[in-house]
Amino acid sequence: MTKEERLKKRHSAEKRFRFYGLASIFVALLFVLILVHNIFSKGSSAFMKTAINVEVFFDQELLEIKNGATEDQILEADFYDITIESLLKVFPAQDLDQENQLIDLFTTDAEIEIKRAFLKNNNLIGKKINLEITASDDIDQLHKGNYPRDLPEDRRRISDFQLIIYDNLVENKKIIKNFNNYFFKNGDSRDPELAGIGGALIGSFYSIIICLLLAFPVAVLASIYLEEFAPKNKITDFIEININNLAAVPSIVYGLLALQILLATIQLPRSTPLVAGITLALMTLPRIIIPCRASLKAVPPSIREGALAVGASKFQSVFHHVVPLALPGTLSGTIIGLAQALGETAPLILIGMVAFVVDIPSTPIDPSSSLPVQVYLWSESAERGFVEKTSATIMMLLSFLIVMNFLAVYLRQKFEKRWN
């Protein structure tokens, strides 16, 4: 091999090496894109829901209530018969089987939706109005194009007769897409078209607030102690090692801790945001302490010395001068810690937040779910409608995380002083 050939080889090795580096960054970026694209393309349709325009006749004989009925009377009245009557008028059905298939096109909550319309306007007796009744999950998925209709009939959930009705409805422009308020308002449900993340949102909110209230003060005080007051001795070293190790303990271990101490020993109520908040706080604490200490450390000693020189006590120098300067870094570290806690799933599963909870929790000691746990729960469900619901929940979760992370970056860049 001549000198030139060797040099050429070395240079191409250089180029190859550089290419590997660039390629691996590219692969990582590509994956972020694929993931986000995958979630968004699956989930964005969940924000709309399919409804069918139905003409409802409020027959006084069937309803047995009069115009101007009180709320209690309406709530007690039986709307089942007029619901069935109205739904059957959508398309002529030949026999009982076809009638059932027709009714199956609508959500199981059709009766409640009609009742709700009547509650809004109780002068409808004897009148006909057009209502948009939510369609069943199968029709919803079919209309959004998520469901293949070219399968043989015995392998699909929608019968040929239902397809005929569907096509007829589409032709007559009776099928509408409108904003899916159920998704944000409702709690969990076995029916995908009715299931929502309302309960999970509130549950997550309570958990994170409790986590913040517990973890933030303790973390700030602990880092002030360790950074400003702690004498250099064995106890301090031991605490430091402990905090570093705790930050690396797998989150599921905190679930076991909560199960044994909070649920079995202290007997706090299972499946509640209270327990979730405490667990997350214990888990987040070391993860907040580490950035808090870093931001305290970044305040130059001259600040402390200046305060001490004019006669401030150690406490005054720390609390009047160092802590306010370190606050932006502290806050942004806390927000990032909370963002991690918001996405944490495993410990919450162990403390029973996987329970099926329909009601929206009103206090932190009501059983509840949380956003990431809801993702886990729905991803285990077989119904096709839950795939888009899961993806949409992930979209919500990710947007919260993005907002929190931007807030953290903003706080740091806007308010943090650079010392050199």
Partner 1 sequence: MNFVLIFLITIFSLSLFFYGRSKTKSISIEKNIKLNALPKFYGYYLVLWCSIPSLVFLLIWTLFEPVIIKSIIIETAANQGAIFNDKNEANLIYEKIKAIYAGTYFGDIDIILKESALSYAKFINLFTNSKIVLIFGIVIASVIYSLKKIKNNNKARDDVEVILKGLLFASSLIAILTTLGIIFSLLFESIKFFSVINIFDYLFGTNWSPQRAFVSDASAITAAEYDELKDAFGFIPLIAGTSFIAFIAMLVAVPIGLFSGIYMAEYASVKIRRISKPIIEILAGIPTVVYGFFAALTVGPFFRQIGENLGLTVSSESALAAGLIMGIMIIPYVSSLSDDVINSVPQSLRDGSYAVGATKSETIKKVVIPAALPGIIGSVLLAVSRAIGETMIVVMAAGLAANLTINPLESTTTITTQIVMILVGDQEFDSPKTQSAFALGLTLFIATLVLNYIAQRAVKKYREKYD
The answer to the question of residue 27 lying near partner 1 (CB under 8 A) is: yes
Q: Binding partner 1 by CB under 8 A: which of 140, 188, 193, 344? A: 344
| Binding of partner 1 by 38 (CB under 8 A) | yes
Which of 77, 131, 257, 365 contacts partner 1 by CB under 8 A?
A: 257
| Residue choice 133, 387, 396, 411 for contact with partner 1 (CB under 8 A) | 387
Q: Is 165 in the site for partner 1 (CB under 8 A)?
A: no
Tell me the C-alpha distance between 378 and 384, whole Å: 10
286 binds partner 1 (CB under 8 A): yes
249 is an interface residue for partner 1 by CB under 8 A: yes
Residue 123 binds partner 1, judged by CB under 8 A: no
- Which of 100, 123, 172, 244 binds partner 1 (CB under 8 A)? It is 244
Residues 191-230 that bind partner 1 (CB under 8 A): 217-219, 221-222, 224-226, 229-230
* 289 in contact with partner 1 (CB under 8 A): yes
Looking at residues 305 to 334 of the shown chain, list those that interact with partner 1 (rule: CB under 8 A): 313-315
**Among 71, 145, 171, 248, which residue sits at the site for partner 1 (rule: CB under 8 A)?**
248
Helix spans in 130-272 (H): 137-143, 160-171, 181-185, 198-224, 234-248, 251-257
Q: How is residue 82 written in tokens?
A: 């007029």
| Candidate residues 121, 123, 213, 238; the one interacting with partner 1 per rule CB under 8 A | 238
Interacting stretch for partner 1, rule CB under 8 A, among 47-55, 173-181, 278-286, 301-309?
A: 278-286
* The only residue of 93, 131, 176, 252 in contact with partner 1, by rule CB under 8 A: 252
Site for partner 1 in 2-21 (CB under 8 A): 10-11, 13-14, 17-18, 20-21
Q: Which of 75, 256, 309, 358 binds partner 1 (CB under 8 A)?
A: 256
